[in-house]
A and B are shown apart, each in its own frame.
Chain A
């Protein structure tokens, strides 16, 4: 028993020394995350809890809000000011603390404090037993540290993902908001055209030249166009609030203005070659699952001899059989090592004698199940990412073509239709209502163009997110629900 006193003490001393290396501050981890996010998105996250830094951040936000908001400035504000994101950052602190905790000989000290006086007064042998237990725990410290380290890595991946999500959602909300504002401008023109029709119908009716039907038809067109406008205005408010939430704004800060127009089609498309593989490679979700596996391996004391996750870069075939190898076959023989690639390194070798470790069969089965769980989720995630990448790529290319088609074909065509209608009007071959209708068709083509441009930018954001390591915001759907069909809507005037 005396011999057992000295050994734990040595180990404890060693453990304390080890623990001293791990900082309690998550700063280093955060900086690593910030670097990663910056490398992936070009945007840098900050986590300043000090009041001085807060003040600076506040000033920056104020300065950014004083100018028309751009996608970049909106993202900067969101990264500085989004409180949910800050809440996510704390998980780094928690994981860091856990890591430190894992290296501490905390239990003996703490238990001693609590139990020692009791033990002294009663003189029970529990103390010796307790020390014995803790002695074994000390042996587990490196293992616990490996687990905590891995969990810190998991946390870092999660934090990076959360930050990138905020960036993507902000970009998306911005595009939706500007598109909604453009839609409002165009629908105001639609209303204006309907007003002109009503004015003409009214004047013609007052001259005694039109029926009540002619007039009421124009009135109804005006009313329905006003309803369209009201819906678009609601959409502006919705998208504005989405941005306010993302940017963490309240009160007077919410009276910002955004840039007036959606960016026009960039001349060159982002490189789309190997988009699936690149998305898979960049995926933080997959990285997180890999890290979960690492944690699992650490927790169950496994040694991974060979990759047990599919090499998704190749992007092929069915699930690969994963085999688990038993380094130390159970003494009772058990199953032969058929499904092998993971090796058991269950517990410290000197601990096998202890009944605590059982034969390890249940634990092994659990580990295998958990590995299989991760394998399946990993595979499923990869399928989703690849699909999202293909969809985003297709959406982007289609949207680019659509935007170009609008710009090169429909917009000039409706312009020519308007001009020719005006000429036919001048030749008194067409009436004022047909002329206004041609103008409205021109505006409707403009609405279609804005819708197509919005779809393009949404697809572009989706691709950026995928290449930054996250699934596209809004579940990856690229279609714009409210895209207006060009030239549609509204019956024609009675003439």
Chain B
């Protein structure tokens, strides 16, 4: 780290996340980056600068984002509840919208200056933890991968400062937003690059509502791949339907981090081994919790490099209600149990949490619920391990043939074996009835009748007679089942 950079960091007070820039890995920092996921994204000095979204200023925005620019009106499917030329006081959380829930994540704080919501994003390098025992040097915003969720209300005028603390030029693209062409953030097409150390100012009016995203639009293979991504939520000014009780936001992403390494390999094009929901892999992903009969919305975005993800929710049929293009007319909403979220898309699903229990929710691509899966190995399934164990064990003490019965128990073994540092190959977690041999894009949706808070309520206790179990001999006999 050179002197000017050190000075710069000291002045801005964001030394913690920037320390990884020197190329040295300080994994102790990861905890700082991700402890307290409900802190609203406020870290370090940002607390001082940003007062959060709870100010009671209600003045109308003074600064119009642009003169000589007419808001687009040509397409009537833009999701709108008010006229884009109308002006409104900045939307207030709790009053104008129910804030979203971001498992393992945070929302970006703002302050209101002369009726404009002002945000500050810092693109930087830091150590990110994907799950206990697994960290890597990532890029992101405000020390987070994915960056904090930007939350606004239709009609808000927002101003976003983007400071580049990376060693490379960058830009931020507001994915799906309808805005003036030169606020769109495509480096060298809609704007010059944000050079290292520079702070850019974006300003526009939110003239639509829905689920959107943001991400770097400079060297996207590297920069998106390293984690410069985030979600952008705009709530409707005048909702046509009741607000959901639980409004979850989830961004899907993928990286390739070989066991024993500390940095995503963004040159990888297939066979990614780190499949993330909000930057985490199972068992690092927090469960989503709802009260019985809560109105639930899940907003799922995908900024993976190369993979679409069919996200499957157990125990429910839901409706796909919105895309990042707008609302789907009720008559056109498909009932579904899996929602395919392609790269560069968002999907909203909605349902009533009327079925209590612990429900798996995961990408249905089976390789996407594995952690750090190795590829190109000999296929060992069904191989007689005894003869191999004898001949190879004789040569290499401690050798054990693995994978002859598949991967189910491998994570459990890996925990006991000598494996490369900074890796959680195939690791899952203990479930209520045994080892959950899953990883990656897997989480649990927990619905309970009685909840005191939305904290993790623990494992579901099934009502009498609703737990699958071993059949008794009498039952088999009675039903004429021969085994």
Report the bound CA distance from A207 to B378 in whole Å.
12
Cβ–Cβ contact B382 & A439, under 8 A: no
Across the interface, A207 reaches (CB within 8 A) one of B373, B384, B402, namely B384
Report the bound CA distance from A203 to B374 in whole Å.
21
For A429, what are the chain B residues with a Cβ–Cβ distance below 8 Å?
258-259, 372, 374, 377, 420, 425
Interface-side segment among B137-145, B156-164, B390-398, B446-454: B390-398
Q: Is B417 interfacial (CB 8 A cutoff)?
A: yes
Report the bound CA distance from A199 to B387 in whole Å.
7
Contacts A207-B382, A427-B414, A430-B377; A422 near B392 (Cβ below 8 A): no
Across the interface, B418 reaches (CB within 8 A) one of A426, A433, A495, namely A426
Contacts A435-B399, A436-B396, A439-B396; A427 near B423 (Cβ below 8 A): yes
Closest to B396 in A: A439
Q: Is A372 interfacial (CB 8 A cutoff)?
A: no
Cβ–Cβ contact A426 & B417, under 8 A: yes
For B385, what are the chain A residues with a Cβ–Cβ distance below 8 Å?
203
Near B by CB (< 8 A), chain A positions 164-205 give 189, 192-193, 195-196, 199-200, 202-204
The distance from the CB of B354 to the nearest CB of chain A, in whole angstroms, is 41
Q: Is B365 interfacial (CB 8 A cutoff)?
A: no
Report the bound CA distance from A349 to B382 in whole Å.
108
For A214, what are the chain B residues with a Cβ–Cβ distance below 8 Å?
378
Contacts A209-B378, A423-B418; A428 near B425 (Cβ below 8 A): yes
Cβ–Cβ contact A427 & B419, under 8 A: yes
Render A458-495 as a binary contact track against B, CB cut-off 8 A, 1 for contact. Answer: 00000000000000000000000000000000000001
Report the number of A-B residue pairs with Cβ-Cβ less than 8 Å: 117
For A195, what are the chain B residues with a Cβ–Cβ distance below 8 Å?
391
Contacts A423-B420, A426-B419, A430-B374; A200 near B388 (Cβ below 8 A): yes
For A430, what are the chain B residues with a Cβ–Cβ distance below 8 Å?
374, 377
Interface size on A, residues (CB 8 A): 34
Cβ–Cβ contact B384 & A432, under 8 A: no
Contacts A204-B380, A209-B380, A424-B259; A196 near B398 (Cβ below 8 A): no
Across the interface, A203 reaches (CB within 8 A) one of B383, B402, B419, namely B383
Cβ–Cβ contact A207 & B381, under 8 A: yes
Closest to A200 in B: B388
Contacts A204-B379, A207-B381, A433-B378; A428 near B396 (Cβ below 8 A): no
Near A by CB (< 8 A), chain B positions 401-423 give 401-403, 407, 410, 414, 417-420, 423
Report the bound CA distance from A374 to B445 in whole Å.
103
Closest to B398 in A: A422
Cβ–Cβ contact B391 & A199, under 8 A: yes
Q: Is B23 interfacial (CB 8 A cutoff)?
A: no
For B425, what are the chain A residues with a Cβ–Cβ distance below 8 Å?
427-429
Q: Is B426 interfacial (CB 8 A cutoff)?
A: yes
**Which of A209, A429, A430, A432 lies at the interface centre, i.e. has the most chain B CB atoms within 10 A of its CB?**
A429
Report the bound CA distance from A42 to B426 in whole Å.
67
Report the bound CA distance from A204 to B391 in whole Å.
14
Q: Is A420 interfacial (CB 8 A cutoff)?
A: yes
Q: Is B260 interfacial (CB 8 A cutoff)?
A: yes
Cβ–Cβ contact A428 & B402, under 8 A: yes
Closest to B258 in A: A429
For B242, what are the chain A residues with a Cβ–Cβ distance below 8 Å?
none
Cβ–Cβ contact A193 & B395, under 8 A: yes
For A427, what are the chain B residues with a Cβ–Cβ distance below 8 Å?
259-260, 372, 374, 414, 417, 419-420, 423, 425
Q: Is A208 interfacial (CB 8 A cutoff)?
A: yes
For A418, what are the chain B residues with a Cβ–Cβ distance below 8 Å?
396
For B259, what are the chain A residues with a Cβ–Cβ distance below 8 Å?
424, 427, 429
Q: Is B462 interfacial (CB 8 A cutoff)?
A: no
Closest to A433 in B: B378
The distance from the CB of A212 to the nearest CB of chain B, in whole angstroms, is 15
Q: Is B329 interfacial (CB 8 A cutoff)?
A: no
Q: Is A337 interfacial (CB 8 A cutoff)?
A: no
Q: Is A269 interfacial (CB 8 A cutoff)?
A: no
Cβ–Cβ contact B378 & A495, under 8 A: yes
For B388, what are the chain A residues with a Cβ–Cβ distance below 8 Å?
199-200, 203, 432
Report the bound CA distance from A202 to B383 in whole Å.
9
**Which of B376, B392, B399, B403 lies at the interface centre, i.e. has the most chain A CB atoms within 10 A of its CB?**
B392
Q: Is A68 interfacial (CB 8 A cutoff)?
A: no
The distance from the CB of B210 to the nearest CB of chain A, in whole angstroms, is 41
For B378, what are the chain A residues with a Cβ–Cβ distance below 8 Å?
200, 204, 209-210, 214, 431-433, 495
Contacts A209-B382, A430-B377; A436 near B372 (Cβ below 8 A): no
Report the bound CA distance from A435 to B392 in whole Å.
9
Report the bound CA distance from A204 to B410 in whole Å.
19
For A199, what are the chain B residues with a Cβ–Cβ distance below 8 Å?
387-388, 390-392
The distance from the CB of A418 to the nearest CB of chain B, in whole angstroms, is 8
Report the bound CA distance from A470 to B266 in whole Å.
66
Closest to A209 in B: B379
For A207, what are the chain B residues with a Cβ–Cβ distance below 8 Å?
379-384
Q: Is A206 interfacial (CB 8 A cutoff)?
A: yes
The distance from the CB of B402 to the nearest CB of chain A, in whole angstroms, is 6
Contacts A199-B392, A204-B378, A431-B377; A423 near B387 (Cβ below 8 A): no
Report the bound CA distance from A338 to B213 in whole Å.
108
Contacts A203-B388, A210-B378; A428 near B383 (Cβ below 8 A): no
The distance from the CB of B408 to the nearest CB of chain A, in whole angstroms, is 13
The distance from the CB of B94 to the nearest CB of chain A, in whole angstroms, is 47
Contacts A203-B388, A422-B418; A428 near B377 (Cβ below 8 A): yes
Report the bound CA distance from A214 to B384 in whole Å.
17
The distance from the CB of B386 to the nearest CB of chain A, in whole angstroms, is 9
For B417, what are the chain A residues with a Cβ–Cβ distance below 8 Å?
426-427
Across the interface, B391 reaches (CB within 8 A) one of A196, A420, A422, namely A196
The distance from the CB of A230 to the nearest CB of chain B, in whole angstroms, is 20
For B407, what are the chain A residues with a Cβ–Cβ distance below 8 Å?
428
Report the bound CA distance from A204 to B379 in whole Å.
7
The distance from the CB of B220 to the nearest CB of chain A, in whole angstroms, is 28
Cβ–Cβ contact A432 & B392, under 8 A: yes
Contacts A428-B402, A428-B425; A203 near B414 (Cβ below 8 A): no
Cβ–Cβ contact B410 & A428, under 8 A: yes
For B376, what are the chain A residues with a Cβ–Cβ distance below 8 Å?
431, 495
Near A by CB (< 8 A), chain B positions 296-353 give none
Closest to B419 in A: A427
Cβ–Cβ contact A192 & B384, under 8 A: no
For A192, what are the chain B residues with a Cβ–Cβ distance below 8 Å?
394-395
The distance from the CB of B372 to the nearest CB of chain A, in whole angstroms, is 7
For B392, what are the chain A residues with a Cβ–Cβ distance below 8 Å?
196, 199-200, 432, 435-436
Report the bound CA distance from A214 to B398 in whole Å.
25
The distance from the CB of A419 to the nearest CB of chain B, in whole angstroms, is 8
Closest to B377 in A: A431
Render B249-269 as a binary contact track against A, CB cut-off 8 A, 1 for contact. Answer: 000000000111000000000
Report the bound CA distance from A419 to B423 in whole Å.
16
Report the bound CA distance from A206 to B385 in whole Å.
12
Cβ–Cβ contact B426 & A428, under 8 A: yes
Report the bound CA distance from A214 to B378 in whole Å.
10
The distance from the CB of A150 to the nearest CB of chain B, in whole angstroms, is 66
For B394, what are the chain A residues with a Cβ–Cβ distance below 8 Å?
192, 196
> Given A199-B392, A429-B425, list of 20 further CB < 8 A pairs?
A196-B394, A199-B387, A199-B388, A203-B387, A206-B384, A208-B382, A209-B382, A209-B383, A420-B260, A424-B260, A424-B420, A426-B417, A426-B419, A427-B425, A428-B407, A431-B376, A433-B378, A439-B395, A439-B396, A495-B376
Question: Could you write out 25 A-B pairs with CB less than 8 Å apart?
Answer: A199-B387, A200-B388, A200-B391, A203-B385, A203-B387, A204-B383, A207-B379, A209-B382, A209-B383, A422-B398, A423-B419, A424-B374, A424-B420, A425-B402, A426-B414, A427-B419, A427-B423, A428-B377, A428-B426, A430-B377, A432-B392, A436-B392, A436-B396, A495-B376, A495-B377
Interface residues of B (CB under 8 A from A): 258-260, 372-374, 376-385, 387-388, 390-392, 394-396, 398-399, 401-403, 407, 410, 414, 417-420, 423, 425-426
| Nearest 10 interchain pairs by C-beta | A199-B391, A429-B374, A427-B425, A431-B377, A209-B379, A426-B417, A207-B382, A427-B419, A207-B383, A196-B391
